[in-house]
């Protein structure tokens, strides 16, 4: 026996129609159509899956689409996120880290992150690459720590 369920919704200027049809009790077919009032189709697609997987796949789709929406709508709090590090920025980071040996490491990292418009995680990850110990402001990496952290020892300059 074939059964069909339809639902429609308008989001902004787009009319969406979703149909779920079972055929012979083995398959579930989802058809999606998105169109403007002018009739122009801007979204369409079809999924065929086992009937028993329908509810689970629905939850999965909801999670994936919700996560995608959150990623697309959340602006980066850090203007320089995902921007490449330059030699000048590396030098600035190294100089700033070594300039305040008495500072609290986490506070200093947050301050540098704000100043450089990067995340604290990005600053902490970059410190060994410029030869600085990310746990102790004012300290360069020893050769042993550089090997362990994948950075360079304090005395060497240049990029890794």
- Report the percent of the chain where pLDDT is more than 90: 52
Q: What is the mean pLDDT of the chain?
A: 87
Using a cut of 0.75, tell me whether the model's pTM lies above it.
no
Structure tokens at 59: 């939850």
Instruction: Please state, in angstroms and rounded to a whole number, the distance separating the CA atoms of residues 41 and 16.
Output: 10
So what's the pLDDT on residue 158?
43
Per CATH, the number for 3-73 is: 2.20.25
Structure tokens at 92: 């600035």
Partnered with residue 104 across adjacent β-strands are none
Helix 105-116 with 87-99: angle, nearest 10 deg = 150
For residue range 76-130, list pLDDT tens digits in order: 678 898 899 999 999 999 999 999 998 999 999 999 999 999 999 999 999 999 9
Q: What is the mean pLDDT of residues 31-43?
A: 94
Reference 128, options 158, 152, 156, 97; nearest CA is 152
Instruction: Please state, in angstroms and rounded to a whole number, the distance separating the CA atoms of residues 149 and 131.
Output: 10
Cβ atoms 123, 113 nearer than 8 A: yes
Instruction: Please state, in angstroms and rounded to a whole number, the distance separating the CA atoms of residues 130 and 87.
Output: 10
SS3 of 118, please? Answer: coil
So what's the pLDDT on residue 53?
79
So what's the pLDDT on residue 52?
84
- Looking at the chain, the domain(s) classified CATH 2.20.25 span 3-73
Instruction: Please state, in angstroms and rounded to a whole number, the distance separating the CA atoms of residues 54 and 52.
Output: 6
Angle at 6 between CA 42 and CA 15, to 5 degrees: 30
């Amino acid at each position: 026996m074939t059964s069909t369920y339809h639902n429609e919704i308008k989001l902004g200027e787009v009319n969406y129609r979703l149909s779920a049809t079972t055929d012979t009790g083995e398959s579930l077919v989802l058809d999606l159509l998105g169109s403007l009032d002018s009739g122009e189709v801007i979204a369409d697609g079809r999924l065929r899956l086992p009937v028993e997987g329908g509810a689970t796949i629905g939850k999965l789709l909801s999670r994936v689409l919700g996560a995608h929406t959150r990623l697309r709508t959340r602006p980066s709090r850090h203007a320089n996120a995902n921007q490449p590090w330059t030699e000048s920025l590396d030098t600035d980071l190294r100089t700033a880290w070594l300039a305040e040996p008495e500072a609290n490491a986490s506070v200093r990292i947050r301050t540098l992150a704000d100043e450089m418009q990067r995340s604290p995680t990005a600053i902490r990850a970059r410190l060994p690459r410029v030869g600085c110990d990310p746990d102790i402001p004012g300290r360069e990496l020893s050769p042993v720590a550089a090997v362990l952290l994948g950075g360079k020892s304090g005395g060497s300059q240049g990029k890794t």
